[in-house]
Amino acid sequence: MRVAVIQQKNSADLNANLDHSLSLIRQAASQGAELVMLQELHRSLYFCQTEDTSVFDLAESIPGPSTDQLGALAKELGIVIVGSLFEKRATGLYHNTAVVLEKDGSLAGIYRKMHIPDDPGFYEKFYFTPGDADFNNGRSGFSPIPTSVGKLGLLVCWDQWYPEAARLMALAGADLLLYPTAIGWDPNDDQGEQQRQLDAWITIQRAHGVANGLPVLVANRTGFEQSPADESGILFWGNSFVCGPQGEFLAQADSGSEQVLLADIDMQRSESVRRIWPYLRDRRVDAYGDLSKRYRD
């Protein structure tokens, strides 16, 4: 299966951002992509650099205007599209939500980001409530979304650092792990620190692929976005990539440019890899009880 991840620069113009995303999706489909994934919160600038109640005006319902447009395009092109939206679930209740549009234009499912960061420049706890199982008919929040191209194990940005999240998606039958992302550098960090952060980010996600015998798709934004509060900001580091079930790179973008990154995934390879690296067989499920504790004192 040919897949594509979209690495995009964003502006303050919401309509222009979405129109550009739709154009890049068309480009991916014209090159044979059956599954296309956009970056985290692709409709707007990354607004979590500050805490501002007026930003809640950006949120939208699901289904809603963006899923309507993405669904129409998915149906026109006959592809599966993964988007990432600021969801207004109810007044005062908002989520960072990934959406999956099926080839017929229908909403196949959603995933609400489970791990919510709260760090300088990434004040997401102000805006987002952690995900839950409501949309998944009582199943865990870590539930793959069935589609015509496979079961998609969707996780969002900060989720990508947690092996528990990837494992639970794998245990629930995910065929692929997908990470829409918005992560970058503090421009004040020196080059050595920036490289360590980038290497850690790439390594942890490749490791999730290795530990679960699954391909991994990562879509990150690129470009500098200034903070609304001052001259600081985030330099999003791009480097979107696709890797196979042994962590092997199938495609990798650069740090500074917009790209439609294409890769061909052998959907039977996970079966072969899991036969020779049977991690799921050898898990000591009887000995992992302490994983449900915050800390083992």
Residues acting as catalytic residues: 40, 113, 157
Distance of CA 96 to the CA centre of its chain: 10
Task: Write phi, then psi, for 64 (nearest 5 degrees).
Answer: -170, -165
**Residue whose pair of structure tokens reads 């996600």 in the numeric block:** 205
Distance between CA atoms of residues 151 and 169, nearest Å: 10
Identity (one letter) of the amino acid at 259? Q
> Which pair of structure tokens corresponds to residue 7?
């690495």
> Which pair of structure tokens corresponds to residue 24?
């890049």
CA distances from 192 to 57, 185, 189, 195, 223 (A): 39, 12, 8, 5, 20
The torsion region of residue 73 among left (phi > 0), alpha (psi -120 to 50) and beta comes to alpha
**Residue closest to 169 by CA, chosen among 219, 116, 212:** 212
Distance between CA atoms of residues 77 and 33, nearest Å: 10
CA distances from 188 to 77, 118, 223, 232 (A): 43, 19, 15, 9
- Helix or strand (DSSP H, E) at 205: helix 191-212
